[in-house]
Structure 1
Amino acid sequence: MSTLPLREAARAVVLDAAQRVLLLRYDENDGFWATPGGSLEPGEDYATAVIRELREELGTEGVDLGAEIAERRQDHPVGGRQVRQIEKYFLVRVEPADLDPGRATQTDNIRAHRWWTLDELRTTRQTVYPLGLADLVANVLTDGTPKRPVVLR
């Protein structure tokens, strides 16, 4: 029995004051939109990794990191190899002016970034990861931060 390599990833559910969600566009795997974030570096915890990833991908500085709101475990390809990924999602609130992609140092094949309303997330025919993101955000906006992270499929 072979064991897939473990990849730990920290991701941000980024909301602005209008309750829009920031997603990044990637062309691999037939194209998809996803929350910002990426793999932990050696010795790094999830919270530190998500702040670093936001700085690297979007040029943010001084982000106030919110609570962990969700987790997902999934086997899937990353960079052409199959991995077992554990993701932790943190709530982050910023204003669009807080983003400075010109300061980004690692764009990791990001093709675009876009702010999405919940209605747009619910009705799009495009692939958005994680699955269930619109419901997760709606529940956080209605009920507040969950006591324990929601398990996403």
Structure 2
Amino acid sequence: MREAAEPRRVARVILLDPEDRILLLHGHEPDDPTTTWWFTPGGGLEGEESREEAALRELAEETGITEVELGPVLWRRYCSFPFAGRRWDQDEWYYLARTTQTATAPAGLTELEQRSVAGLRWWTSAELSAARETVYPDRLAELLQRLLDEGPPSVPLVLAPEIV
């Protein structure tokens, strides 16, 4: 019997600008741009880097934003989903970050990201709440509003697993 592999360790960023807008990337399956979703910047850890280092590196690569104040871990979740011909099992940590740098220039995208990221945009909480598009993690609009109303949790919230 084959033992299950450890989930990929991922650092994601809840990036807020001075107006409390959140930055999300617009993604799709590399070979099928008709099914789309929005998601937070971030990705897998490389080598011996910490989650904090990965969060800042991924943010810079995917958005070009480097002027960031990285805050605490807000949420943790396990997710599993099919993408680009394989299944991804991930242990994700979501960091709060603030920036005044709102211009984006995603110059460090991997080849796979170049084929699957259609753009990015800043969303207000109200826009996110009204959105009818798929957004990951589930309940992001509700989680963002709670964050804006109450501030960061004293300990990271463990979100329900998302298995697609």
- TM-score over 0.5 (shorter chain): yes
Cα separation, 2, equivalents of 1:131 and 1:105? 27
Q: Percent identity?
A: 40
Report Cα offsets for 1:43-84 as digits up to 9, x if no partner: 111110000001111112242111110011022224321132
- Selected match of 2:73 from 64, 68, 77: 68
Equivalent in the alignment of 2:89 = 84
Q: Which amino acid aligns with 1:37?
A: G
Alpha carbons 1:4, 1:82 under 8 Å: kept = no
Amino acid paired to 1:26:
G
1:4 shift after superposition: 4.3
CA distance in 2, matches of 1:73, 1:61: 27
**Are 1:74 and 1:86, in contact at CA under 8 Å, matched by a contact in 2?**
yes
Structure 1: gaps of 5 or more residues: none
Match of 1:128 in 2: 135
C-alpha contact (below 8 Å) 2:12/2:40 kept by paired residues: yes
Say whether 1:106 aligns with 2:109. Answer: yes
Within the candidate set 113, 118, 124, 2:125 is matched to 118
For the 8 Å contact 2:67–2:99, the answer to whether it is kept is no
- Name the counterpart of 1:25: 26
Q: Supply the distance in 2 between the matched residues of 1:100 and 1:123 (Cα, whole angstroms).
A: 24
Give the equivalent residue in structure 2 for 1:46.
51
Go from structure 1 to structure 2 and tell me whether the alpha carbon gap of 1:57 and 1:96 turns closer, same or farther (over 3 Å shift).
Answer: same
- Displaced runs of 4 or more, over 6 A: none
AA partner of residue 119 (structure 1): A
Q: What secondary structure sits across from 1:31 in the alignment?
A: strand
Instruction: Mark the runs of 5 or more structure 2 residues left unpaired by the alignment.
Output: none
- Give SS of 2:109's match: coil
Distance (Å, rounded) in 2 between the aligned partners of 1:122 and 1:64: 25
In 2: Cα distance, 1:124 partner to 1:62 partner:
28
User: 1:19 offset after TM fit, Å?
Assistant: 1.2
Root-mean-square deviation over aligned CA pairs: 1.8
